[in-house]
Amino acid sequence: MIFRGLALATATLLASTTLASLPATAQAVAAKAAFAEPSLSPDGSLIAFASGGDIWEVAATGGTARPLVTDAATEGRPLYSPDGTRLAFTSTRGGSQNLYVLDLASGAVTRLTYAESAEELDAWSPDGKYLYFASGVADVGRQADIYRVPASGGTPMQVSREKYLAEFQAAPSPDGTTLAINARGLSGSQWWRNGTSHIDETELWLKPVAEGGAYRRLLPGGEKHAWPMWSRDGQSIVYMSARGGTENLWRVGLGEGAAPEQLTHFADGRLLYPSMAANGSAIVFERDFGVWRYDPATSQTSAVPITLRGAASATPRRHEQLQSFSRLAVSGDGQKVAVIGHGEVFAAPAKDGGPAQRITNTPGAEREVVWSPDSRRALVISERGLDHALVEYDVASGRETMLTTRGIASVPSYAPDGKSVAYVLNDRELHLVTLGTGGTDRTLFTGAIATDGREGPRPTWSPDGQYVAFPLRDARSFVNVHVVPAAGGAARPVSFLGNGEMGGIAWSPDGKYILFDTAQRSEDSRIVRVDLLPHVPKFREDKFSDLFKPGKQPGTPDAPADSPAPATPKPLPVAAKKGAALPLAPKAPPVAIVWQGLRGRATILPLGLSADTPVISTDGKTLVFRASEKGRANLYSYTLDELADEPPVAQQLTQSDRPKGDFALSGDGKTLFYLDGGRVISTPIDSPKPKPINIAADMDIDFASEKQVVFDEAWSILNRKFFDAGFNGHDWTALRARFQPYVAGARTPDELRRIIGLMIGELNASHTGINRPFMGPGTLPSGRVGDLGLRFDRSAYEAGRGLVVREVVTLSPAATEKIVPGERIVSVGGVAVGAHDNLDALLENTVGRRVRLGVEGANGRREVVVRPVSAGSAAGLAYRQWVDDRRALVERLSGGKLGYVHIADMSSESLDQLYLDLDAENQGKQGVVVDIRNNNGGFINGYAIDVFARRNYLTMTPRDLFSLPGRQALGQRALGKPTVLVTNESSLSDAEDFTEGYRSLGLGKVVGQPTAGWIIFTGAEPLIDGSSVRTPSTRIQDGRGQDMEMHPRPVDLAVERPLGETATGEDAQLRAAVDVLLAQVGAGKP
């Protein structure tokens, strides 16, 4: 558990040691292997299952299991073919999670699919010719569709393809003519969540396998249903349902109105991935990391005892040359840099880099590093078990001193004399620790310190070391700079702004002012200057007046009027030896703060950019900051010298589009060091010329020991940040103990993440989960397989007529070359497309490249040249086509009276798109349909809703021109037209905030389905292996004080969207919305 504070205000520091301290880990537990995703052979005699990323086989009665498929990649979801001679499974060995088939007799493995999408294997066709699976690679919004692919090889074809609606977990009937599928919601991908919310509720549908057949709903929504399985006689379907609050097996007949029947009666635990033997003799399923069996004849359930035996694959210890760093610190002498890579601190020469010295070597991750003023020591925030300790290292000798032992220490900062350190404990206490033998730790302030772990502003010392400035959040969530005496005393505010965000604080070297950045969420950030003394401006004209002061002799250098008399110059120090201490700067004059009138001495620097993280050079003349423009962050400089020859203008120092991390100036202020996409770069300030500092840092990474660190990090982060201190009614410490043995037994990073994900899923909360790394080892490939924007005719393909085009996505590479439905793709790159060729395989590594296609149509054969796009870009084109189709439908249904906009998410890009879509044509309509179905949230709902909520209160009429609404004329976006809002069960997160605002402000009717009930303010925290865990930290409540999490926003008119609308071109929800809005504007139906 985490200890939330120190018992005493002072504590004697621990003695120094040259050995790394062991982390406070959980007590040793016996490792347990996790068994997952079992399936039965056709005769029910064997079980295949996944464990440790491998596929194993065991007798159905249990016993010793032997490995069937072992590989360094992650294998899963094994399914026996109907004749028992082959085994289909998923694997990441080719990059993405794709489909493979093992010939059980020969051991040969064949790859079937290549798409860059996490494909979910569902079933074999009863005749063994096809494999059914779900993939979101081609759908609008990357929602899952149902595909099937020939088991002998070929191109996958869509079987169920409802646009912008998830279909998953397909099961073909025993005669192969009908599919049972689940539809709607997130439970297909969010299966690890134990419990239900509206977005997890699914429907069970039947669909003919043949093209053109009508869908029939067998089970309505309202519950989470999953993994349908047909009875042997084809008269009923068995499935998992969370009906009643616990996952169990249920059965429902195919007749109209048939009542579901419960088969198992578990009162707790999970029931996942059930699979029925083809002869109907048994069902096996995953339950709490074991394999269980249900006997339909006796209705009994029992655990299957399994022992693994064989040479299982495991994640090997690897030696890694670090290519990217997460943190950077520059020593005061400008000679050394310290970086953090894969959780360890390394140091290297600042000038040219080269081989790095490893400073730390601990099981946990090092999170922060700060150099001492003498450039010999460094402060490190080090994970020690579940605590984050403050540790000081003597860099040259490697000697370590533990400064704290309990709680979460963060954002440390040396005093100017290097004799004490300020840091924050548990985001609630500002501490000052004095260094050396007998040092003490004192609490300077307790409150809502807005450091947000290691991401917020670092406490900043005054130049004379007498004060510490820090950010404090008040009850209204306003964040302002406060100052507290280092000797102890009351903290007082020096800023008084009504903003909620801050990124950095800088105290001027002369002690006369403080800079900090401030913003409201989603607004541009500004850098503010607060003068601690009434500021007397300096003028260049004063330089001439100074020449006439008494005693002024020509040629005498200027000295500031408030400076002491210049001392006799001393010889410059001899160049310091490597590792020598940097001489400390002369003692700074005392800092004075005139509190009276301080509130009125704040000014915004006129930088003209959204700027954050101010850094001031040691001479006080230059400001360096980070700024974002058009989504790209770069670094800029700005003169603070009031006597500069030219007016101050922000000067851009960097040009790349990679993210900018930590940055710092050298001691002389002439060189800037920064992280550019994780690489260390330096550039002169006066004439920017970025130069890579190549740091050779390498280390061994051992998953066997690191997996415990990853688990500790994930659990600890949620322990501190989960929005509900009661963890939604669960014992979070007990959950840790329950899952710990399986963490100890995990053999791969993917299996570890699966175990952690299931633990997080017990909280039954939205905005949770664990994600794989987005860069480096463990990432999935993207942008590799080219997409042409074509959809093919499955009937023609399976009849042997090849790749006949059914649909061409507007503006896609194929559309650009005027490929049309009915034509056939016969070759790629001069290679003929055979019956067993997969088009995705032929288009690997073609994104953005010139590709020749052979096209055959009614007018013969021709060759065209295309440039395939990535799957992500293709999905964007499909989305825009879907929007155009909806707009045309509204135009037709309303007789041209109504406009239409769709908001895909609540990102800044979608806000810009909303401004584009609310064009002159839409604004000329009598009303506008606002569609936020499938909007997956973001952060700009307030800005979007303002467009629809603002009402005009002025009219402006220029001479000889038209009268204009005042808001638009003055540049404020305001539609000023009647609207109707369309939502569905996949309108989530910030889309629900938008819906609540729309209803509360009385802007119009809401039509469709209630929203997801999936709304918590969230973020993400990185883990040592590059994974990240989501952190739902802030409860969201509506204006009545009701939690919005688990409580969908209601609609005024409920309208369902039946499956099958894609084929007909109908949209029942949109049709109803048009009717409602037409009635509102008094236009009536066309």
Is the confidence at residue 222, as pLDDT, over 70?
A: yes
Q: Tell me how far apart the alpha carbons of residues 902 and 890 are, in angstroms, rounded to a whole number.
A: 12
pLDDT, average across residues 824-844 = 96
Instruction: Kindly indicate the confidence band of residue 13, based on its pLDDT and cuts at 50, 70 and 90.
Output: very low
Q: Tell me how far apart the alpha carbons of residues 849 and 869 are, in angstroms, rounded to a whole number.
A: 9
Is the confidence at residue 643, as pLDDT, over 60?
A: yes
Through-space distance between the first and last CA atoms of the chain, rounded to whole angstroms? 66
**CA-CA-CA-CA dihedral for 892, 895, 897, 898, to nearest 10:** -20
Instruction: Kindly indicate the confidence band of residue 451, based on its pLDDT and cuts at 50, 70 and 90.
Output: confident
Tens digit of pLDDT for each residue in 711-751?
999 999 999 999 999 999 999 999 999 999 999 999 999 99
Give the right CATH number for 113-265 from 2.120.10.30, 3.40.109.10, 3.40.50.620, 2.102.10.10: 2.120.10.30
DSSP conformation class of 627 = E
Residues recorded for the chain: 1086
3-state secondary structure of 534: coil
Specify which residues 245 forms β-bridges with.
none
Q: Which CATH class is domain 873-1081?
A: alpha beta
Instruction: Kindly indicate the confidence band of residue 17, based on its pLDDT and cuts at 50, 70 and 90.
Output: very low
Q: Tell me how far apart the alpha carbons of residues 945 and 899 are, in angstroms, rounded to a whole number.
A: 17
Q: 889: closest CA among 874, 879, 899? A: 899
Q: 169: closest CA among 185, 159, 182, 150? A: 182
> How many helices (H) and strands (E) in the chain?
15, 73
3-state secondary structure of 110: strand
Q: Tell me how far apart the alpha carbons of residues 886 and 284 are, in angstroms, rounded to a whole number.
A: 44
How far, in Å, are 351, 611, 647 from residue 637 at the CA level?
21, 11, 13
Q: Which residue has the tokens 């507007």?
A: 810
pLDDT, average across residues 647-671 = 94
φ/ψ of 603, rounded to 5, equals: -135, 150
**CA-CA-CA-CA dihedral for 1049, 1052, 1057, 1062, to nearest 10:** -100
Contact (CB, 8 A) for 135 and 156: yes
Tens digit of pLDDT for each residue in 872-905?
999 999 999 999 999 999 999 999 999 999 999 9
Q: 628: closest CA among 528, 525, 529, 527? A: 525
DSSP output for 456-502 = SPPPEE-TTSSEEEEEEE-TT--EEEEEEETTS---EES------B-
Specify which residues 803 forms β-bridges with.
825
Amino acid occupying residue 329 = A
pLDDT for 646 equals 84
Q: What is the SS3 assignment for 135-184?
A: ECCCCHHHCCEEEEEECCCCCCEEEECCCCCCEEEEEECCCCCEEEEEEC
Tens digit of pLDDT for each residue in 368-419?
999 999 999 999 999 999 999 999 999 988 899 999 999 999 999 999 999 9
Question: In the numeric block, which tokens belong to residue 778?
Answer: 């463990």
Contacts of 1059 (CB under 8 A, 6+ apart): 160, 162, 165, 167, 183, 205, 207, 215, 217
Contact (CB, 8 A) for 343 and 23: no
Q: What percent of the chain has pLDDT over 70?
A: 92
pLDDT, average across residues 857-883 = 95
Parse the chain into domains and list their residue ranges. 113-265, 790-869, 873-1081
Q: In what order do the strands lie in the sheet with 261-262?
A: 225-230, 236-241, 248-253, 261-262
Q: 671: closest CA among 395, 229, 333, 428? A: 333
Q: In what order do the strands lie in the sheet with 130-135?
A: 120-124, 130-135, 145-150, 157-160
Q: Which residue has the tokens 């509720």?
A: 201
DSSP output for 369-428 = EEE-TTSSEEEEEEEETTEEEEEEEETTTTEEEE---SSBEEEEEE-TTSSEEEEEETTT
Tens digit of pLDDT for each residue in 483-498?
999 999 999 999 999 9
Other residues' Cβ atoms within 10 Å of the Cβ of residue 520: 14
Q: Which CATH class is domain 790-869?
A: mainly beta
- More confident: 703 or 23: 703
Half-sphere exposure of 281 (CA within 13 A, CB side): 12
pLDDT for 781 equals 72
Q: What is the mean pLDDT of the chain?
A: 91
pLDDT for 543 equals 62
700: Cα separation from own chain's centroid: 27
Instruction: Kindly indicate the confidence band of residue 187, based on its pLDDT and cuts at 50, 70 and 90.
Output: confident
Tens digit of pLDDT for each residue in 197-215?
899 999 999 999 999 889 9
pLDDT for 521 equals 81
Question: In the numeric block, which tokens belong to residue 404?
Answer: 């704290």
DSSP output for 744-797 = HH--SHHHHHHHHHHHHHTT--SS--EE--SSSTTPPP-S-B-B-SEEE-HHHH
- Tell me whether residue 1024 is exposed, middle or buried, using C-beta atoms within 10 angstroms of its C-beta: 0 to 12, 13 to 18, 19 or more: buried
912: Cα separation from own chain's centroid: 21
Q: Tell me how far apart the alpha carbons of residues 306 and 290 are, in angstroms, rounded to a whole number.
A: 8
pLDDT for 1086 equals 58
Contact (CB, 8 A) for 1012 and 199: yes
pLDDT for 630 equals 74
pLDDT, average across residues 251-259 = 94
Q: 192: closest CA among 200, 204, 184? A: 200
DSSP conformation class of 1043 = B
Tens digit of pLDDT for each residue in 538-564?
765 666 566 666 655 544 444 444 434
